[in-house]
């Protein structure tokens, strides 16, 4: 089994486990990731997911060895309107996902981390578009999500040069949200996930939807979207105000 799925309270933990390939993703692993996150999204008891990798590596990207084997082109070809080569990267989930990163998150592994809402890295983490060296395109959302996360200039630096950024640089440019000591990444991600899961979910998810859906919209359109989604959550807001008033 190359993808493990565990539940810890309101949190699903999804772990890529292909030690011989540094957690590179082949087609069966991509399909297993899709299945894992479909399972998470369908489970109303779960509020947040954590995506991580086993054996000291987050993910080394797509499995280029598998892609280069006879039949690999057919196996790895994915329709433009289907799931990505790395799995769920063309899906927008209704619930948040946190990447817990140690070691290399490169090429498609970086794209998987960017697909997540938040990224917690330990101080061994390394990020980069290493597919640049092999003439492989970013096709799992990297060209779209990286500029949204770090800005166009910094994104182009990583995309064009294929260089690797260490954890401290990733934090400085906003690629990751927090850096922790080696080995503490999953624990911190779980702690953060449990904090998010403890909030009233309806309004938290509505605010997340507004932030994500407004990317690229003119400000006036984004404000209109925020207002519409907010109006739909008035009942929950009034209940929250009542609890605040009585100190509960």
Query: What is the spatial distance between Cα 204 and Cα 47, in angstroms, rounded to a whole number?
Result: 11
Catalytically annotated residue among 8, 73, 111, 202? 111
How far apart are the C-alpha atoms of 245 and 239, rounded to whole Å? 10
DSSP 77-90: ---TTS-BTTBSTT
Q: Of 131, 191, 226, 239, which residue is the catalytic one?
A: 131
Asked if residue 109 lies in contact with residue 61, where contact means CB atoms within 8 angstroms, the answer is yes
Give catalytic status of residue 209 as yes or no: no
- For residue 185, give Cα distances in angstroms to 51, 72, 165: 11, 34, 18
**70 φ/ψ sector (left φ>0, alpha ψ -120 to 50, else beta):** beta
The residues carrying an active-site annotation are: 111, 131
């Amino acid at each position: 089994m190359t993808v493990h799925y565990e539940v810890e309270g309101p949190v699903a933990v999804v772990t890529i486990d292909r030690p011989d390939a540094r957690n590179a993703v082949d087609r069966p692993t991509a399909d297993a990731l899709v299945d894992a996150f479909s399972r998470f999204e369908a489970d109303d008891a779960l509020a947040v997911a954590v995506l991580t990798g086993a054996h000291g590596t987050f993910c080394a990207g797509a499995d280029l060895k598998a892609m280069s084997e006879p039949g690999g082109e057919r196996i790895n070809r994915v329709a433009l309107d289907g799931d990505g080569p790395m799995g769920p990267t063309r899906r927008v989930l209704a619930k948040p996902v946190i990447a817990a990163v140690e070691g290399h998150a490169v090429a498609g592994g970086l794209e998987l981390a960017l697909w997540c809402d938040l990224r917690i890295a330990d101080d061994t983490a390394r990020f980069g578009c290493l597919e640049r060296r092999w003439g492989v395109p970013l096709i799992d959302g990297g060209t779209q999500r990286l500029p949204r996360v770090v800005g166009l200039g910094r994104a182009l630096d990583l995309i064009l040069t294929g260089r690797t950024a260490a954890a401290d640089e990733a934090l400085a440019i906003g690629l990751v949200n927090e850096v922790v000591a080696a080995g503490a990444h999953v624990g911190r991600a779980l702690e953060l996930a449990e904090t998010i899961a403890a909030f009233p979910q309806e309004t938290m998810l509505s605010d997340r939807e507004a932030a994500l859906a407004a990317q690229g919209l003119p400000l006036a359109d984004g404000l209109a979207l925020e207002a519409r989604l907010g109006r739909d959550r008035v009942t929950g807001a009034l209940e929250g105000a009542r609890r605040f008033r009585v100190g509960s």
